[in-house]
Amino acid sequence: MASFEPVLTRNFGVENIRSIDVYRAKGGYKAAETALRSMSPEQVVEVVTAANLRGRGGAGFPAGVKWSFLPKDRRITYLCVNADESEPGTFNNRALMEGDPHQVLEGILISGYATRTTTAYIYMRVEFHEQFHVLQKALDAAYAAGLFGRNILGTNFSMDCYIHRGAGAYVCGEETGLIESLEGKRGWPRIKPPFPAVEGLFRRPTVVNNVETLACVVHIIERGAEWFKSIGTANSAGPKLYTISGPVKRPGVYEAPLGLSCRELIFGDAYAQGMSDGKGVKGCIPGGLSVGVLTEQELDCKLDFDDVRKYGLLGLGTAGAIVIPSDADIRQVLMNVTRFYAHESCGQCTQCREGTSWMYKIAARIAIGAGRIEDLDLLIEVSQNMGMMGGLSICGLPDGAAYPIRTIVEKFRDEFERHIRAQEPGRAAEVLRRLNPAAYSLPILGQSRWVGVR
């Protein structure tokens, strides 16, 4: 770990790094020149595949393998760059776009060449106001330098690139929801197959990759597949941007090899340096909200694509850690989690639309001191009966909702039961008796009490 050389963040803090001249003086766009002038698109795909670059957006699917799914006889290819970054606790893509925008654009250029892309679209969530202007200015400079447009770098390769601002919907982080939104329609995920590689944007072959994934491509071309595989763990190669938030001394973005332990991220001197105000750790959501939760006893979990599954998590996710302090009320944590997913479900699938809403209502009732022991079993049961992996939904949003809810209830069940047993006698029965159908509408976000409960 001590000999690790940061590459994704190496230009962070360099004066005027957003300027194309400064970026090129630091060696920028050299990898793009190498790819476009001395490698074929197929060779670039082979190198990225050999490096085992797995997607940094959450799913962890190998990028080179995804590119190889494109039809060989295609005439038009689109590249959609997922800069939506809607997963709670995640801000590594935002850091890349504002801290080193030309690195992102160089990754797009190389990846576009590898996939024979005709047009690339950067899908950016609307809340990224500063990042939009930073990246647009960098893109304009890249066009002026002949790095996008016609006959790039004097070759016969041409590609245009545009930034499209999304409306801030969580479900548009899913690739087909993103594509629907990019086409100007409601961001409802599509039924698959057909997959985007065959029929994506405007019903043409499409590749969807995350910002950080494409930034890694620059360094794979620059340093080679073997260098990339020498970093991290056996099946989780390369550097990773970890983000951490919560009551820690140094919240922020940190680059480290894949396989960094959650405990090291929280307490390591090179990272967050422990908890502020002498607080303890109750738990940590290590990869963005949807992956699930680790208890304090599980913090030695390695944050790679494999070890996390030993702890009952959905996956690595975005590696955006949210630390839960020891004085947090686990009932409020659960209510915040369920409220988010109930609000962000697109409503297209019955299991997701109804399941997330009902779980929020149950969690809200527990939070106001009207829970029942059987509610905990009901939450687990509902979470197990929805989701794409069970064949019951179009996209993975309900899976992402199920894992944090189920792991919070299962891993902190004793605390929930302790709160429920300490409730005012008869409180749950009284609340249930007084409920009416109107009470089952979703509450206004930010309300501390459930609609219909007084």
Res 80 pLDDT > 70 = yes
Q: What is the pLDDT of residues 331-344, one digit of tens each?
A: 999 999 999 999 99
Q: Choose among 340, 307, 439, 276: nearest CA to 87.
A: 340
Q: What is the pLDDT of residues 393-425, one digit of tens each?
A: 899 999 999 999 999 999 999 999 999 999 887
Res 202 pLDDT > 80 = yes
Res 446 pLDDT > 50 = no
Name the 3-class secondary structure at 39: coil
Cβ atoms within 10 Å of 76's Cβ, excluding its own: 13
Of the pLDDT bands very low, low, confident and very high (cuts 50, 70, 90), residue 116 is very high
Contact 406, 400 (CB under 8 A): no
Res 368 pLDDT > 60 = yes
Q: What is the 3-state secondary structure (H, E, C) of 81-106?
A: EEECCCCCCCCHHHHHHHHCHHHHHH
Q: What is the pLDDT of residues 222-263, one digit of tens each?
A: 999 999 999 999 889 999 999 999 999 999 999 999 999 999
Summarize the confidence of residues 348-353 as an average pLDDT: 91
State the architecture of 330-440 in CATH terms.
Up-down Bundle (1.20)
Q: Which two tokens stand for residue 336?
A: 């915040």
Contacts of 420 (CB under 8 A, 6+ apart): 366, 371, 372, 373, 375
* pLDDT on residue 450: 37
CATH number of 233-324: 3.10.20.600
Q: What is the pLDDT of residues 95-110, one digit of tens each?
A: 999 999 999 999 999 9
- Give the whole-angstrom CA distance, residue 90 versus residue 190: 25
* pLDDT on residue 454: 29
* pLDDT on residue 436: 54
Contact 173, 84 (CB under 8 A): yes
- Give the whole-angstrom CA distance, residue 99 versus residue 196: 30
Superfamily of domain 20-229: NADH-ubiquinone oxidoreductase 51kDa subunit (3.40.50.11540)
Q: What is the pLDDT of residues 143-172, one digit of tens each?
A: 999 999 999 999 999 999 999 999 889 999
Domain boundaries, the chain: 20-229, 233-324, 330-440
pTM, two decimal places: 0.90
Q: Which H or E run contains 371?
A: none
Contact 241, 212 (CB under 8 A): yes
Cβ atoms within 10 Å of 432's Cβ, excluding its own: 11
Res 355 pLDDT > 70 = yes
